């Protein structure tokens, strides 16, 4: 079974631009979560989508948004990019029915904001 895939793997943007990242979960998984990983803050939860609805949200500004499609694929968008948004953005998928469902992570998208 194919793992979680994320595209693109690397991205360079400039301040003020916006960016969209994509995540394809493992087949059959209905929950997709997004995390930001930086050297300064570590791994931080952004949001979770389940059956096309945002089920949980972390403490990030409204510039960070996401959505999930009927095939469970998910996208996250960051508008008005800031230098501090440079990070590794990780997507994780799980079956979603229970909090103990294992979350499987993708390789991440490395975003650099110049």
- Judged by the rule CB under 8 A, the positions of this chain that interact with other proteins are 4, 31, 33, 35, 38-45, 48, 50, 55-56, 58, 90, 92, 94, 96, 98-108
Among candidates 91, 88, 90, 84, which has minimal Cα distance to 111? 88
Considering the complex, what minimum distance in angstroms separates the CB of residue 24 from other proteins? 13
Residue 55 CA: distances (Å) to CA of 2, 73, 86? 25, 15, 25
Residue with tokens 């230098």: 83
Considering the complex, what minimum distance in angstroms separates the CB of residue 11 from other proteins? 16
Specify whether the CB–CB gap between 70 and 100 falls below 8 A. no
| For other proteins, the closer CB: 16 or 107 | 107
| For other proteins, the closer CB: 36 or 78 | 36
Considering the complex, what minimum distance in angstroms separates the CB of residue 62 from other proteins? 18
| For other proteins, the closer CB: 41 or 71 | 41
And the tokens for 4? 């979680």
Residue with tokens 């791994």: 43
Considering the complex, what minimum distance in angstroms separates the CB of residue 48 from other proteins? 5
């Amino acid at each position: 079974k194919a793992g979680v895939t994320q595209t693109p793997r690397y991205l360079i943007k400039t301040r003020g631009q916006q960016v969209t990242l994509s995540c394809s979960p493992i087949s059959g998984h209905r929950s997709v979560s997004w995390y930001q990983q930086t050297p300064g803050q570590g791994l931080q939860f952004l949001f979770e989508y389940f059956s096309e609805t945002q089920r949980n949200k972390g403490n990030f500004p409204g510039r960070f948004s996401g959505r999930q499609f009927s095939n469970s694929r998910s996208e996250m968008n960051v508008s008005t990019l800031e230098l501090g948004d440079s990070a590794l953005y990780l997507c994780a998928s799980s079956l979603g029915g229970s909090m103990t469902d294992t979350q499987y992570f993708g390789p991440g998208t490395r975003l650099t904001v110049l």
